[in-house]
Amino acid sequence: MILITGSNGQLGKELSLSLKDAILTDVKELDITNEKKVKDFVNEKKIDLIINCAAYTAVDKAEDDEDLANKINALGPKNLAMTGAKIIHISTDYVFDGMHNIPYTPDDKTNPISVYGKTKLDGENAIIKYAKEYVIIRTAWLYSSYGNNFVKTMIKLGKEKEVLDVVSDQIGTPTYAFDLKEAIIQILPKLNKKTSGIYHFTNEGVASWYDFARKIMELSKIKCLVYPISSSQYKTKAKRPFYSILDKAKIKSIFNLKIEHWEDALKRCLEKMSV
């Protein structure tokens, strides 16, 4: 039996639509920060595989709410891993400091520069320490037709405003949650001791948030003008990695995945949203 935690989030929703027999939980149904409740739930429901999509993702709020971010992002994964079930755990590019100029491989040195990144790295380390068989998937810039995300925000603002300023000096790859879900489904039957490890998954290609915003306006046929600004002109509480391109060679090779370019993935998402 498969358990999906964080099932109300973007990725959790995508997975729940494909894995019809999975048990779906969000914080109301299962508090992953409670070790006893997690253990009892997994035993009672006879769970043998967990896909952990639960996370504290409010990057700026985490700077002031480190305790809760740590409970959800670090203690929660530890509790899930200690049940003995196989686990697919979703992590983030924020475990890196963004000072690279070539794509990060899963083996590259981590150095988080925010509370969010640090707690997510602690969660990874807990999975590695306590889970018998696991796949950790670091992803970045996730969006979907479900939930709140950058694509929906840009469409809303683009319809309300004539001009938008968007950061152009943070580089990454937009990732459609539907495509990450498809990758996870391909990984499920191949998860074993031999394939256990850390992997990277995003769509293909490279973009800044400015590039991403412009493409959203273009494909949505919204006339709002988008202008580039620097991160120093858009102050946030938490530091963001300037460069977070993730090298996907390992996940493509081990699990025989074909990954689409981010612009093609965005088109499919917008079509689904009927924008």
Q: Which two tokens stand for residue 77?
A: 């994964």
Which one is catalytic: 56, 94, 104, 116?
116
SS3 content of the chain, % helix, strand, coil (to 5): 45, 20, 40
Angle at 244 between CA 179 and CA 164, to 5 degrees: 85
DSSP-derived letter for residue 195 is T
Task: Report phi then psi at 104, rounded to 5.
Answer: -75, 130
Strands 171-172 and 207-208: antiparallel
Q: Which two tokens stand for residue 256?
A: 């025989």
Residue 104 is among the residues annotated as catalytic for this protein: no
> For residues 207 and 227, what is the distance between their CA atoms, to the nearest angstrom?
15
What amino acid positions are annotated as catalytic residues? 116
